[in-house]
Chain A
Amino acid sequence: MKTRGPIIVAFVIGMLMMIQFFTPNPFFLRLYNIVLDWKQVVLGCTFILGTWSLIRYHIKKIQRHQENWQYSYVTLIGLTVTVGAAGIWKTASGPYPWLFNNIQVPMQSTMFSLLAFFVASASYRAFRARTVHATLLLVAGALVMLGRVSIGAYFSGSILGVEISLVEISDWLLNVPNLAAKRGIMIGVGLGMTATAIKIILGIEKTYLGRSD
């Protein structure tokens, strides 16, 4: 009941989802759509669980007066106000989209833009042209960066009698060698994920069930 039941559920649902791909039968298509709707509901509930976990963490932090506990109030108030705004004024207009547009979006994009500084300083410390491969990585990165800015268009030269600009080199690096590496990784990942999925459906892979008690 505790282990075998979920494995049987996994087998039945997994096979059903797989079979619908190969059959045009409307019954399977309907079943497929129902399973997708169930999945959405389960996902929604996991979000409630996650939020509950976040609330519990911050309440514990406040109760124990852990380091920076005062800021936990900010998180809890932010969460309550956002959910409350959606509950009172609905989501289409009012404070809920205002909070999203004027607090979440600008702060989130500023957070991501901060990474420009940290990536630059980290790469300055980490990138050293010690080996041929490290040099290739460095040169490819530099060429792509230069090719993405306006000044890159002014750099051009002749290779085997063909006039070529830095922007073209940058685009070629992205579209050919980079794509080759990405495609190789993607095929490998695809094979790995397919193998893992088969193991899950057949009940060989059970780690997602957690502890085996």
Chain B
Amino acid sequence: MNVASDPGVWVAGIFTIAIFSFLYKDNPFYKFAEHLLVGVSAGYYLVQYFFSAAYKKFYVPVFINKDYILIVGGILGIMMFARLFRRSEWVSRYPVAFYVAAWAGYVIPSYIHVRILQQAESTMFNPVGMPLKDLLSACVLFVGVAATLIYFYFSAEHKGGLRVVSKIGITFLMIGFGATFGYNVMGRISLLIGRFQFIFTDWLGLVR
């Protein structure tokens, strides 16, 4: 047995056990660990975002590089705090509108390109000279994408041929959801194995 001597490993190990104790039932150790996680995470992300935003994108360019155009970002940021007071709440609409519109303007060309055109292009295939196995998969993929899209087409009632195709769409969606579920569960399981490895190998040294 080769128990860890690093206090950091001990702290991590004790809090890991505290979180796992929730499997028995909600208890004070779990509550303590949960609340500490919220506090530390909030502090960590606050520092990260504040440092990357206020310092790197505001303080350095404005006060060191004398790039005064970036003052506008600071003013917009300060305007966000108007949200704290009921009478001046409307002022915060300006930075919100700015942020949402900047996202919207970016989304239109990039999403059309990446999420629509590129996806459609990748679904198309040239059957000439394709091995049979790949051809079969490409056909299934093409039918699946088309049928899934038709399932989400609500401008006409799903009757007749449309109903048949939308049923095929549901079939693909169900297989997709099942596969995604299985994949996610396995992701969680590998995280669980990682935690047990930490407890038994890094912390307690029971397993080499």
Contacts and interface: CB of A to CB of B under 8 A. Distances in A.
Interface of A: 2-3, 5-7, 9-18, 21-22, 34-52, 54, 68, 71-72, 74-83, 86, 91, 96, 98-117, 119-120, 123, 133-134, 136-145, 148-149, 170, 172-191, 193-194, 196-198, 200-201, 208-210, 213
A17 B106 contact: yes
B42 A79 contact: yes
Given A40-B57, A114-B20, A200-B104, A186 B115 contact: yes
A2 B93 contact: yes
Contact of B101 (A10, A47, A108): A10
Given A45-B53, A79-B43, A184 B144 contact: yes
6 contacts: A37-B73, A49-B81, A75-B39, A107-B36, A181-B175, A184-B149
A39 B116 contact: no
A13 B36 CA distance: 40
Interface string B7-38: 01101110110011011000000011111111
Contacts of A196: 104
Contacts of B13: 106
Interface of B is mostly: helix
Contact of A41 (B15, B54, B107): B54
Interface of B: 8-9, 11-13, 15-16, 19-20, 22-23, 31-54, 56-58, 61, 69-70, 72-74, 76-78, 80-81, 83-84, 89-90, 93-112, 114-116, 119-120, 122-123, 137, 140-149, 151-152, 169-186, 188-189, 191-192, 194-195, 198
Given A40-B57, A79-B40, 9 more contacts: A13-B98, A14-B102, A77-B39, A81-B43, A91-B47, A104-B40, A109-B194, A113-B191, A136-B175
B185 A106 contact: no
A104 B140 contact: no
B8 A82 contact: no
The 9 tightest CB contacts between A and B, nearest first, are A180-B144, A44-B53, A78-B39, A184-B148, A17-B105, A181-B176, A82-B43, A140-B178, A190-B115
B175 A110 contact: no
Contacts of B119: 183, 186-187, 190
A141 B149 contact: no
Contacts of A181: 144, 148, 172-173, 175-177
Contacts of B148: 180-181, 183-185, 188
Contacts of A104: 37, 40-41, 44
A133 B8 CA distance: 49
Given A137-B177, A176-B137, A41 B46 contact: no
Nearest to B188: A116
A129 B63 CA distance: 65
Contacts of A109: 191, 194-195
B84 A49 contact: yes
